[in-house]
Structure 1
Amino acid sequence: MRNTGLKLAMLLAIFSASSQAQVGGTDAEENYDKRVKIALQETDFNYEIDEDGDFKLVMEFDDARSQVVYVSTRTYRLEHLEIREVWSIGHVSDTQLSAELANQFLSESSDMILGGWEQQTWGDQQVVIFRAKMSANASGETLASAIGAVSQTADDIEKELVGTDEL
């Protein structure tokens, strides 16, 4: 997993270019869901708003590790439900996941209370993301719980699989 930081930056640029935000506008300050900002103001979390209007947080852990987590501005509807995603990259690979590793992610997902593992292809990379889907109107406390669960789960798999702290 050489040059993971550079690859991750490239992957995030590719992903960012293809996503859409819910609220209109031309820059990040006009292009975010204000409900997320209000909810995050109820927490002690520091964040920045990226060019897509998504909220980027760097969660720091007691063992001197950290994990980048995103709270999406874009929401999705299912009848009367409005859903928002909280996600973090847990693993990046130059090759397809082995059947053993894919089964590990699938098995772990079945045990999760909130969220699950997804595999996506970003350019030439296989990216494994831990994603939680929740109410777009979640309170700060609820959003903080989801952010904590997503960041810890993604960091745990990164530590287990590669032992580094690049994501």
Structure 2
Amino acid sequence: MRGLGFSLVLFLAVVTTCAQAQVGGNDVAENFDKRVELAFAETELNYEIDADGDFKLLMEFDDQRSQLVYVSSHTYSMENLEIREVWSIGHVSDTALSAELANRFLTESADMILGGWEQQIWGEQYVVIFRAKMSANASGETLESAIAAVSQTADDIEKELVGTDEL
């Protein structure tokens, strides 16, 4: 499938800008990870902080499409590793993935340089997410690269499977 096997370099070449967003308001969580905010200060990315303290970005592409992507403030630890997630929804359905599509996502995830596909159940919907896990102390440049890869990969599958631009 076009897009899912592309290298990170191609992802970066396609991404142009992020839509304007701002930090502030009464419903913004005060418990966001300040390291992400500092990393974003190294970039030109615009973001907002949601009620959970996660960083939400709207990535815009040259083909007039866009994709929401999230950088989690919450981190996970394993021994000396502290991991942060960058993720975006690629597909939403009222039914579970078919065996054929699930196997396709598994196979493509094995070839990914950064990240992989997963299916979660949110209420009554099945949500397919492309998620990258990385160091919680990643630089702005590293986060920007991950955001570009995650958003482009999720948008490619949305475009292919449903042809809309809603996620």
TM norm. shorter chain > 0.5: yes
1: CA distance, partners of 2:159 / 2:104 = 15
Structure 1 unaligned segments of length 5 or more: list them.
1-25
The Cα offsets for residues 93-134 of structure 1, whole Å up to 9 and x where unpaired, read as 001110111011111101100000010000110000000000
For 1:70, the equivalent position in structure 2 comes to 70
For 2:21, the equivalent position in structure 1 comes to none
For 1:7, the equivalent position in structure 2 comes to none
For 1:35, the equivalent position in structure 2 comes to 35
2: CA distance, partners of 1:29 / 1:153 = 28
2: CA distance, partners of 1:116 / 1:61 = 21
Amino acid in the other structure paired with 1:45: L
Structure 2 vs 1, CA of residues 111 and 29 (structure 1 numbering), >3 Å: closer, same or farther?
A: same
- Please say if 1:164 is aligned against 2:136: no
Structure 1 or 2: larger helix share?
A: 1
1: CA distance, partners of 2:77 / 2:28 = 23
3-state SS of the aligned residue for 2:146? helix
- Report the more deviating stretch, 38-47 or 80-89: 38-47
Give the superposition deviation at 1:28: 2.9
Which structure exhibits the higher relative contact order, with contacts defined as CA atoms closer than 8 Å and separated by 6 or more residues? Answer: 2
The Cα offsets for residues 21-67 of structure 1, whole Å up to 9 and x where unpaired, read as xxxxx963521000000111111111000001000000000000000
2: CA distance, partners of 1:89 / 1:126 = 11
- Please say if 1:53 is aligned against 2:53: yes
The Cα offsets for residues 60-102 of structure 1, whole Å up to 9 and x where unpaired, read as 0000000000000000001000000000000000011101110
For 1:155, the equivalent position in structure 2 comes to 155
- Please say if 1:127 is aligned against 2:127: yes
Q: TM-score, normalised by structure 1?
A: 0.83
The Cα offsets for residues 133-156 of structure 1, whole Å up to 9 and x where unpaired, read as 000000000000000000000000
Amino acid in the other structure paired with 1:121: I
For 2:105, the equivalent position in structure 1 comes to 105
When the two chains are superposed, the root-mean-square deviation of aligned CA atoms in Å is: 1.1
For 2:81, the equivalent position in structure 1 comes to 81
Q: TM-score, normalised by structure 2?
A: 0.83
Structure 2 unaligned segments of length 5 or more: list them.
1-25
2: CA distance, partners of 1:93 / 1:150 = 20
Number of equivalenced pairs = 142
